[in-house]
Chains A and B, each alone.
Chain A
Amino acid sequence: MLVRLDRRSVGGSEPTGPTRQPSGLTPTQPSPIEGEGLRAPFALVETVRGVRRLAAVDAAGANLGLFPGQKAADAAALAPDLAVAEAEPEQDARALDALAEWCVRFSPAVAVDPPDGLFLDVTGLAHLWGGEAALMADFRGRMEKAGLDLRLALADTPGAAWALAHFGADGTVASPGDQAGWLAPLPPAALRLDPAVAAQVERLGLRVLAQLFPLPRAPFARRFGAAALARLDQALGRAPEALCFRRPPTPWFARLAFAEPISQPEDLARVAADISAVLCARLQAAGRGARRFELAFHRLDGWAQAREVGLSRAACEPSRLARLFLPKLETVDPGFGIEAATLAAREVEPLAPRQGLLGAEAEAAAEDLAPLVDRLANRLGEDRVWTAAAFESHVPELSCARRPPLAPSTALGPGPGWDPEAPRPLRLFRRPHPIEAMAPVPDDPPVQFRWRGQLHRIRRAEGPERVAEEWWKRPIEAVGPARVRDYYRLEDQEGRRFWVFRAGLYEPGPPAKWWLHGVFG
């Protein structure tokens, strides 16, 4: 369903039939038994509480009197040449998601309406196709080429679009603002009411929506529930309805379609550069920059491949973007050809050009470093480029946290918050290495220790520095005095300096465990 900015939605739904293949967008599989001009009925079967029932039937089956929910045995009796297949709802859901991804070539705001519907918001997009009728025709043509049967409708509100798609004529375009007129001849089930409420409405003799509109609201809500009234309001546009779009719709969106499908890597690179130029021009005109750009290539056979680029500072330079996209395009598989490319910008921020101050070296350096950090982060991964930041913890391995390099630092003063007087090693091993140490009791540093087969005799030592566990993080019953580490700074005969700790308090009996946590410079 296509929706426009001023609230026009198009609903498209595939008929609840097995003509939609459970495994992706492959063309409709012909029935195994092909009659003379007549297709044999086909149904999907599922097991409900131990009984085999029909999950879906196609048009031929419906003509013979089959319906979803019927027992499979009864259906076989009614239609002896019925062909069946297992219903696979997860595959269907995945196929619908893939279809929604592909529909991004029409509009960036696509919402999935399980089990077999899609909403598309086409606000402001109709001019790209030369009118709404052309847009619907293009959409229908491409879907049918992919082998999908569908029913389309275009309306101002999602509720109206859903109603027209499911119960109205196929391909209706409701004129803006006239939902009541278009919805009047439809049955009450078109409002997406609860089945119980819909049955009640029917029982009371209200067979078409035209009878529902003039009813007073308060008694309506009392009789049928507030949800029913909400649905009515949503369909008529009196109340807003929020759709859950696949991605948050962003107005910063550019789309390029090609007359002939492309597949060469040079063409992909050129497309990335061109579409970056288009979107960045728009961003620049509005004085904004963005931090995340997502470039999606839409293939002929209905798959879309997306590549994302992140920047450490908002920018809108097309050459920089194109250069960052270049290594990511190598993994794009064009298949039979790519027919459209879309670029969406997220995390858009205002980007006013600032007057540089004379002598503002720190600002200028940060601006120069941003391209370097972006290149490294996009090439190696964002978790591989960082700056160390102090974290409030007395446990050594937790006291140093990572943050993105150019994020504004909250530290005051030259030091980042670590105490320069507490000696910490230059190399801290991720996991302390076990060592065999010999120490006179009870609290003295070791006189020698063996690490990796080498014996080190200690000449000088400092310590102990006691680091206890973070007792506030565990239940109070589990806290005890034994989970401590006594750190010693040791220097051996040759001058090498180590950071060694003993785990636990000293107890007579079992020898204490010693570990090497780091090496000083």
Chain B
Amino acid sequence: MSDFRSRRLAAVRAKIAVLERDGRADSESLPFGDLAVDACLPGGGLPLGHWHELAGEGLDSETAASPAAFAALMAAPLARRGAVVWALRSDDLHAPGLVGLGFPPHRLIQVAARDEAEVLAVMEDALATAGVACVFGETEGVDLVAGRRLQLACERRGATGFVIRRKPFGGAPRGAAQGAGAATRWRVAAAPSEPAPGEFGLGPPRWRVSLERCRGGRTGAWLFEAARAYGEDLFQEGQDGTHPLRVVADLGDRELASPPLRAVG
């Protein structure tokens, strides 16, 4: 009897979940491979078929190097599935830098747009094209209408979009981030690196990342590291299973109900 009831409850829950998602099929997600992070995200990983927003602070609001590196590494497994389009306003993206981090650039198409509106138009056009796995765009801000259009373009082919907020050098600050309908919103800052014991110089790059907003999930803050950057085993086939990003420490406050997870760095 209770078995029948629980089954019926599960069916009703599934129906409600489908209604909540406006009838779309369950979207894929890209797991980070770490329980702490995947628990915060809906579906157990970065939701594909949506667009995400990344921002930096301080110097990164103008150079946007850390958000771009983090976004590229988050999407590195996607880059093997299809083409990647990167829409820029200033053409200072250096492809050998991406290679060193672990992002395969031989399917990367870079587009230099002339202004903000054109960056968004290029992103929309690329997201709606079959054969494109993910699209990056560097722009100052995305308002509600543009955000909705990006979401619709993502849903047409299931591509993933990443908006990296960047203001031109010497530009006036545009104000607080507007909530524009991104599936997740991240804030990325560089963190001091630790070299392996016995080595000197710089260690693998690290970032202090906080997930500020997540639709259907929880917020959190972590310290990520690109463990395999600048190494010789970067593109070996055996490493394809693991995510290029590795959680070093958990920085944020979590819900009290969840069991405390700590990734040993």
Interface residues of A (CB under 8 A from B): 364-369, 371-373, 375-376, 380, 384-388, 390, 396, 399-400, 405, 409, 411, 413-416, 418, 420-430, 454, 459-462, 489, 491, 493-497, 518-521
The yes or no answer to B256 lying at the interface (CB within 8 A) is no
Let me know if B131 and A369 touch, CB within 8 A.
yes
Within 8 A of A (CB), among B100-148: 100-101, 104-106, 108-114, 118, 122, 125-126, 129-132
The yes or no answer to B192 lying at the interface (CB within 8 A) is yes
24 interchain pairs (CB within 8 A)? A365-B82, A365-B130, A368-B130, A368-B131, A372-B126, A376-B111, A380-B118, A387-B108, A400-B95, A414-B106, A416-B106, A424-B94, A427-B64, A460-B193, A491-B193, A494-B192, A496-B66, A497-B202, A518-B94, A519-B59, A519-B63, A519-B65, A520-B97, A520-B205
* B118 proximity list for chain A (CB < 8 A): 380
Q: How far is the CA of A518 from the CA of B92 in the complex (A)?
A: 9
Q: How far is the CA of A368 from the CA of B114 in the complex (A)?
A: 25
Q: Contact partner of A521 among B68, B99, B125, CB < 8 A?
A: B68
Closest to A491 in B: B202
* A409 proximity list for chain B (CB < 8 A): 106
Q: Contact partner of B94 among A368, A371, A411, A426, CB < 8 A?
A: A426
Q: How far is the CA of A420 from the CA of B232 in the complex (A)?
A: 7
Let me know if B105 and A416 touch, CB within 8 A.
yes
B interface bracket (residues with beta carbon within 8 Å of A): 35 or more
Q: Contact partner of B98 among A366, A426, A494, CB < 8 A?
A: A426
* B130 proximity list for chain A (CB < 8 A): 365, 368
Closest to B69 in A: A521
Q: How far is the CA of A115 from the CA of B184 in the complex (A)?
A: 70
The yes or no answer to B201 lying at the interface (CB within 8 A) is yes
* B126 proximity list for chain A (CB < 8 A): 372
* B99 proximity list for chain A (CB < 8 A): 415-416, 418, 420, 424
Q: How far is the CA of A400 from the CA of B101 in the complex (A)?
A: 16
Shortest distance from the beta carbon of A460 to any chain B beta carbon, whole Å: 5
* A414 proximity list for chain B (CB < 8 A): 104, 106, 235
Interface of chain B, main secondary structure: mixed
Q: How far is the CA of A489 from the CA of B193 in the complex (A)?
A: 13
Let me know if B94 and A491 touch, CB within 8 A.
no
Interface of chain A, main secondary structure: mixed
Let me know if B112 and A416 touch, CB within 8 A.
no
The yes or no answer to B83 lying at the interface (CB within 8 A) is yes
6 A-B pairs with the lowest CB-CB distances in the bound complex, closest first:
A521-B69, A388-B95, A368-B131, A365-B131, A426-B97, A428-B94
Q: Contact partner of B129 among A372, A386, A461, CB < 8 A?
A: A372
Shortest distance from the beta carbon of B67 to any chain A beta carbon, whole Å: 8
Shortest distance from the beta carbon of B134 to any chain A beta carbon, whole Å: 13
* A428 proximity list for chain B (CB < 8 A): 92, 94, 97
The yes or no answer to B12 lying at the interface (CB within 8 A) is no
Shortest distance from the beta carbon of A501 to any chain B beta carbon, whole Å: 15
* B65 proximity list for chain A (CB < 8 A): 425-427, 519-521
Let me know if B97 and A495 touch, CB within 8 A.
no
Shortest distance from the beta carbon of A486 to any chain B beta carbon, whole Å: 15
Let me know if A423 and B106 touch, CB within 8 A.
no
Let me know if A427 and B202 touch, CB within 8 A.
no
* A416 proximity list for chain B (CB < 8 A): 95, 99, 105-106
Shortest distance from the beta carbon of A505 to any chain B beta carbon, whole Å: 22
Contact with A along B200-218 (1 / 0, CB 8 A): 0111011110000000000
Closest to B208 in A: A495
Closest to B234 in A: A420
Shortest distance from the beta carbon of A167 to any chain B beta carbon, whole Å: 58
Q: How far is the CA of A464 from the CA of B201 in the complex (A)?
A: 11
* A494 proximity list for chain B (CB < 8 A): 189-192
Let me know if B95 and A376 touch, CB within 8 A.
no
Closest to B97 in A: A426
The yes or no answer to B168 lying at the interface (CB within 8 A) is no
Q: Contact partner of B230 among A368, A371, A388, A421, CB < 8 A?
A: A421
* B72 proximity list for chain A (CB < 8 A): 426, 521
Q: How far is the CA of A518 from the CA of B97 in the complex (A)?
A: 10
Q: How far is the CA of A518 from the CA of B98 in the complex (A)?
A: 13
Q: How far is the CA of A496 from the CA of B192 in the complex (A)?
A: 7
* A369 proximity list for chain B (CB < 8 A): 83, 109, 129, 131-132
Let me know if A496 and B112 touch, CB within 8 A.
no
* A388 proximity list for chain B (CB < 8 A): 95, 105, 108, 110
